[in-house]
Structure 1
């Protein structure tokens, strides 16, 4: 009940705080939580079921996929129930929900229990996969990644956190193979999402699908080209700034050479290799300027569309 008295950002911060408390408790009681080594398990213990031992990774993969699909369908079904509807209303306006006779705290508590159920299912599948549960599962890193995924994907849509989890996982797996600065890029992507697409990926797609239906893609194609060019130019300049600086910083702290993305050739462009810093800064500034210009053109176009809709019609009926 303590975490569900408030919603939104306070709820997220209180949840993170309680998670940190549990992380500290896990270190204080190693006999219960296994200490730094964690708690180990063995997934092949017991008799096979229909010849399935869950020893090979492919069997764990299909087991995880089946339970993930079942959990996703159950969560979607929950959002279509009266409880799910009232939970959405509590998220949007808890005060108004209280005026019609519902207890917002009780609704949040019920949904928190449901979320804990699905989180426990995820933890059990993870324990079967890696055969160990450590205290890192309770740490701020894991909780922070979940919040990043929700914000980047879009919390107002059911598919949003899924898209956010896919994006964060791809960035963590793909970028970490090529650059040690992948967490910096993840933080920049999070900041850009909050600033330019507060609805997340799902909200961004839904908003622009509405614009395509109302105005047609030809009316907004020039703005898309401008925004895409600015985004690519900004990303290019950011990479050319970050990679040499990050490589130099790591080399100052380590005696051994550091393997990173700098100097990796793509056939026609060497990542982080040799571009003057002032050109990289100019690319970032130009990209940001193009994005701002595209945003202003969108605001001007939407303002004109709203004025046209509000203008009274004259003439014979």
Structure 2
């Protein structure tokens, strides 16, 4: 009877795992990188510790919850299968006792882990304190060094400013002497230079007038010739454009006619494909409903028949009445 209970429990676990579609979808989304790597034969790193890669700051995420749920279900299924196998083969519960002892040992080992964690926190606090002291020392040294560097920079800037002032004074003095000499030369050469410039301007004015008159005449002649050429060119271009436009219109009409015929053919093909697809979906849905109905019916009949033979003690559950044996011994012999 205990083996039958284990068998029913395993069937219930398997049905629970297979029927929870939402959980399976979340698990598939979570394991998507691993599934893609397995699909394309990407070698995975060997991980001996199951705690590797766990973020301690995000322990409540959906990925860790799903992994914990799947691990618990696998562990429970392994316990049930091992117990059922040992009970069927050796008629003992040593495997179940081993799992229980393992759980007790794990609970006993938990306080030691908590104590180690407390010690590690104390060590980490001391190291953090030393690190802060070292950082403060480094900051003080850096501050003193920056002060010395600023002092040296200020000295260098003062020397540069003094040299710039001296050079500016010398340059201005040289400019003043140069302007004085230039003004003296200009005062002596002003009257002859003005006479020369006057005659130069008159000569340039006459030359400019002659050149402008000649340029105007040439521009008028060139404009007349250009207009004649433009009108002749415009006539030729307009005739070519009209002929080209007529040819384009012919080609567009022919293309639209071909496109219309092609679209009509495509629409007819699409109508045929849509009808075939609708018929295929209807037949597939009927077949699926029939398969689901037959599966559920078979499960119901199997459960009813198993309950019937257990209640009425038929088949392997039938009680054999042997002489010289008690009722309890006979039942134990039948079960074994």
Please classify the TM superposition score into its range, dividing by the shorter chain length.
Answer: under 0.3
Larger relative contact order (Cα-Cα within 8 Å, sequence gap ≥ 6): 1
> Going by fraction, where is helix more abundant, 1 or 2?
2
TM-score computed with the length of structure 1 as normaliser = 0.20
